[in-house]
Amino acid sequence: MANVTIIGAQWGDEGKGKVVDWLASRADIVVRFQGGHNAGHTLVVGNQTYKLSLLPSGLVRGKLGIIGNGVVIDPVALLAEIERVSAQGLKVTPETLRIADNATLILPLHAALDGAREAARGAKKLGTTGRGIGPAYEDKVARRAVRVCDLAEPDSLSTKLDELLLHHNTLLAGLGAPTFAKDKMLRDLLALAPRLLPFAEPVWERLAVAKRDGERILFEGAQAVMLDVDHGTYPFVTSSNTVAGTAASGSGVGPGAVGRVLGIAKAYCTRVGAGPFPTELFDETGQKLGERGHEFGTVTGRKRRCGWFDAALVRQAVKVGGIDGLALTKLDVLDGFDELKIGVGYSINGEIFRHLPAGAAAQAAAEPIFETMKGWEGSTRGAKSWAQLPAQAIKYIKRVEELVEAPVTLLSTSPERDDTILVSDPFAD
């Protein structure tokens, strides 16, 4: 059986959590490989709703969850999330969750710097979640990060904090923000160590054994391709690489272990925060999409911007993200519209593009080129087979496939985990 990697094919919030949860029934291990607690997955299981930020979604299915080295971990947020879902009945112990011992930690000073920088930008804010993700990745690249393994070495941790605070307190003071005291930070981290270290191990070794034994691994990405720090709408992006190749480096496996890549895309398009969004709607249709889709960020609670499906954008994500097939979600939100539009390209200063250029000015100037399709009568909500879909809805899906140059291999027709149409099993050989 092949491994599977799941990534977002738009700007995040595509419904990856439900799809990961659904596919986890076919997997043995579920691995988070990048991002931090700025990501949010909502899983609806019967009358229970689980909101996960750091925990791998497979835990809801009783699968072994792994947080890879590519994730930046806020230990306080992680432990609070474990307590919250445990109260809902999930079993999260060192037997069900493992954490890479070389993963970078997010500390309170990272969130403070994140917030101070956004405040200093004023009207030019990037729209970060303010949770310290970017500054933590900066420290990782600059080789001054505190990692999970450092919690087991108090003397080494103390030395690391000296360098870290020299850097961050200088920046915070320059931005007019409060600075941090080493003694308190050291005490707080050492107090967290006994609670976090039982979960820690070199997860690359466990994954190597799983690969040898033929276990099926599901790699779970956060955010989406168009928020990738290299390939997204820079600078309005996240601080990590969100493409499928990161599953290898972010969990300690070879690139051959990534397996089939499933990209998740809504049947329309949404975005949280600032940045270009060519197919965004500012009228009643956009408002209707938001209301019917319950479009509020899982992590931030912010209202999502809504617009028509952007096939040019998703085609770009397919190419750079390594996507083999699409899971199309929230098709039911489009029920009852008289007509639907699909973005097929952009007009930028009189020139036609089939992709979003890398330059920020060009992205901001992009005007969508739309193709109009007839809507459908009847409901797609809860459909579990193609036969239950209106003919015009099938035409819409087929047109999406043509434009993005990738097959729709899975279709989600409601938030319920079993309201899913499987065209082809990504785990099949």
pLDDT of res. 299: 63
Q: What is the pLDDT of residues 116-129, one digit of tens each?
A: 998 888 887 777 77
The pLDDT-based confidence of 298 (bands split at 50, 70, 90) is low
Instruction: Please indicate whether residue 81 or residue 43 has the higher confidence score (pLDDT).
Output: 81
Q: What is the pLDDT of residues 198-238, one digit of tens each?
A: 999 999 999 999 999 999 999 999 999 999 999 999 999 99
* Beta bridge partner(s), residue 411: 328, 421
* Cβ partners under 8 Å of residue 296, min gap 6: 302, 303, 304
Q: ω before 426 within 30° of 0 (cis)?
A: no
Q: What is the pLDDT of residues 248-273, one digit of tens each?
A: 999 999 999 999 999 999 999 999 88
The Cα 296–Cα 153 span in angstroms is 41
The Cα 149–Cα 197 span in angstroms is 8
Q: What is the pLDDT of residues 135-182, one digit of tens each?
A: 999 999 999 999 999 999 999 999 999 999 999 999 999 999 999 999
Instruction: Please indicate whether residue 53 or residue 41 has the higher confidence score (pLDDT).
Output: 53
The Cα 28–Cα 64 span in angstroms is 7
Q: What percent of the chain has pLDDT over 90?
A: 78
Q: Is the pLDDT of residue 24 over 90?
A: no
C-alpha dist (Å) from residue 40 to 121, 394, 425: 25, 30, 25
* Rounded (10°) CA dihedral 224, 168, 252, 203: -110
DSSP state for residue 125 in the 8-state scheme: -
* Rounded (10°) CA dihedral 36, 80, 16, 216: 90
CATH number for the segment(s) 266-422: 3.90.170.10
**In the predicted model, what is the mean pLDDT of residues 231-246?**
95
Residues of the chain with CATH 3.40.440.10: 4-100+200-260
pTM: 0.93
List active site positions.
Answer: 13, 41
Residues of the chain with CATH 1.10.300.10: 104-196
Name the class of domain 4-100+200-260: alpha beta
DSSP state for residue 271 in the 8-state scheme: E
C-alpha dist (Å) from residue 69 to 142, 236, 246, 337: 16, 24, 11, 44
Domain 104-196 CATH (choose: 1.10.3660.10, 1.10.300.10, 3.40.50.300, 3.30.460.80): 1.10.300.10
pLDDT of res. 16: 83
Q: What is the pLDDT of residues 372-395, one digit of tens each?
A: 999 999 999 999 999 999 999 999
Beta strand 339-348 pairing with 367-374 = antiparallel
pLDDT of res. 392: 97
Beta strand 339-348 pairing with 309-310 = parallel
Residues of the chain with CATH 3.90.170.10: 266-422
Taking Cα atoms as reference points, which of 235, 189, 165 lies closest to residue 73? 189
Tell me the two tokens of residue 388: 């239950």
pLDDT of res. 121: 86
pLDDT of res. 429: 64
Taking Cα atoms as reference points, which of 330, 275, 250, 334 lies closest to residue 7? 250
Cβ atoms of residues 268 and 307 within 8 Å: yes
